[in-house]
Structure 1
């Protein structure tokens, strides 16, 4: 029997200026800066993680901030159109007021699949949505957040993928990943068989040419696996679907496998552990640069080549 995934593990985008990126996700959206590290495949580029109070899988949006040296991305087929968070229904007015006070243009509210949705862009042009519902999950609160505990984002609701042809991507979601078609409402909705938070993938068709990866685009989306034993099951199962899957890669805080679905979106399957406290205690998450042990001998060189960064988490406890 093939494995099943409960849904999204994380979403990774490409940002420009690292300070602007961190300021927005920490001080505007109120997410916790849970890990400051580097891209293991490009060690002179930061890798930032923003999530709930504990960095729970299913709440983390992560970024490679390319700074001035990165090319600007161009949206098109084979890319993530929107990344969507859950909020409680009674929080909608709070978020509309907050985003307006930050001079952020908001589209909506609109109705989709019986739920209320608002849409806006981050400073690099990555499109985010908030879905307000009565059944939003309850994540781990971040006590120092500038957002009151009752109004904090509650992890991922879904992502929307834009592809030139729905059918091949839908086949990977259903036959490959165990998702089930749920409904159609201007887009095609698929939900993981086990359901729960972050279990939804929406598909829309676009006639735009293939997108160009760069600043302001999503690099990949990741699904949950329990452990590396389950990842081996995934590798065998996906290979049977004629998908080219990488070997298991150690990402320090989880292990990963990657493959590209036929529509062009890069998929990752990531383990639930060991988690972000493997090298920093809970109180210190995100406050200092963390490197995997295989890069620790290069710390001085890496730090000298990373752009300067004023961490918005430093001192934030005293501000709230």
Structure 2
């Protein structure tokens, strides 16, 4: 089975408790996994998404309390965009005002209404009203009715020196196709339900990024399983001369990583085994989950992690 689209996006945050409050309370996403950065277990790795943690809905964070602010630059993800139903933009405009969330005026982009805003660390986010999303289930909270809830990713946009080589990776390897151009943006679409759009913005001699709180660390694309991932890795090497890393087991998916030609870090992540592999679906995100190789250090790790409140 061939699947396409965004699997998840991972960003860097400051305080973990503030990050948790914003994404679960202000935006109404579910905390679907509370674990640690496998390469730096002194910090959390928090996963937010829909009720079951479907690929295409997952935004994850590495939060460090004293992370310096990042600076957007060329060779970086510029914006993460969520899908909401067509009638929900008014609700979210009022909610962002009510919660004191910095946001921009409504604009049109490729004929769609876009409401851009920032999280507490300055991460660039947006809502897009998409036809048909009112027919899909939303996750209700005490303050966010299901009919207005975030459904999943609409798109991510990448800020690049030039777009052609990155476009070749998207179309030849990752299953996207170019569908439209508008000013400096080039839009690519695949057949996924969520996470189906990548926008490339070519800006020439822009500043290089400074990675920090509010920066996107990487964008992960879907592979159904190990076999499909291997096909994509082989095509990447044979057709584009780019070698991916060895496969890494992230417990909930298996991953390879590479720098695409525009220098953005890409990941290819398997859909399997999913977030219910180590806890029941109704219990997702409640307990700190550790991979087997860190379980013997649980007491030490729990003692170092900040309180989430």
Is the CA contact 1:86–1:137 (under 8 Å) kept in the aligned structure 2? no
Aligned twin of 1:73: 70
Aligned twin of 1:316: none
Is the CA contact 1:53–1:143 (under 8 Å) kept in the aligned structure 2? no
Residues 1:45 and 1:139: Cα distance change in structure 2 (over 3 Å): farther
Q: TM-score, normalised by structure 2?
A: 0.95
Aligned twin of 2:39: 41
Aligned twin of 1:314: none
Equivalent position SS for 1:182: strand
Aligned twin of 2:186: 188
The one-character-per-residue Cα deviations of 1:220-266 (angstroms, maximum 9, x if unpaired) are 01111101111111111111121120111100011111111011100
Equivalent position SS for 1:64: strand
> Number of matched residues?
306
Aligned twin of 1:285: 284
Which of 212, 222, 230 is the aligned partner of 2:228? 230
Matched, 1:259 2:282: no
Residues 1:108 and 1:13: Cα distance change in structure 2 (over 3 Å): same
Aligned twin of 1:128: 125
What pairs up with 1:16-35 in 2 under 5 angstroms?
16-35=14-33
Aligned twin of 1:219: 217
Equivalent position SS for 1:301: helix
The one-character-per-residue Cα deviations of 1:74-100 (angstroms, maximum 9, x if unpaired) are 210111110001111111111111111
> Partners in 2 of 1:145 and 1:60 — Cα distance?
21
* 1:166 to partner: Cα distance: 1.3
The one-character-per-residue Cα deviations of 1:95-116 (angstroms, maximum 9, x if unpaired) are 1111111112321211111111
Aligned twin of 2:163: 166
Aligned twin of 2:237: 239
> Partners in 1 of 2:134 and 2:171 — Cα distance?
24
The one-character-per-residue Cα deviations of 1:148-183 (angstroms, maximum 9, x if unpaired) are 111110100100000111112112212232321110
Which of 99, 108, 115 is the aligned partner of 1:118? 115
> Partners in 1 of 2:100 and 2:68 — Cα distance?
26
Residues 1:197 and 1:235: Cα distance change in structure 2 (over 3 Å): same
Is the CA contact 2:86–2:134 (under 8 Å) kept in the aligned structure 1? no
Is the CA contact 2:104–2:117 (under 8 Å) kept in the aligned structure 1? yes
Equivalent position SS for 1:104: coil
> Partners in 2 of 1:252 and 1:226 — Cα distance?
15
> Partners in 1 of 2:230 and 2:136 — Cα distance?
29
Aligned twin of 1:295: 294
Matched, 1:83 2:80: yes
> Partners in 2 of 1:48 and 1:190 — Cα distance?
28
> Partners in 2 of 1:228 and 1:137 — Cα distance?
34
> Partners in 2 of 1:213 and 1:113 — Cα distance?
29
> Partners in 1 of 2:144 and 2:14 — Cα distance?
24
> Partners in 2 of 1:21 and 1:57 — Cα distance?
21
Q: TM-score, normalised by structure 1?
A: 0.92
Aligned twin of 2:248: 249
Is the CA contact 2:114–2:126 (under 8 Å) kept in the aligned structure 1? yes
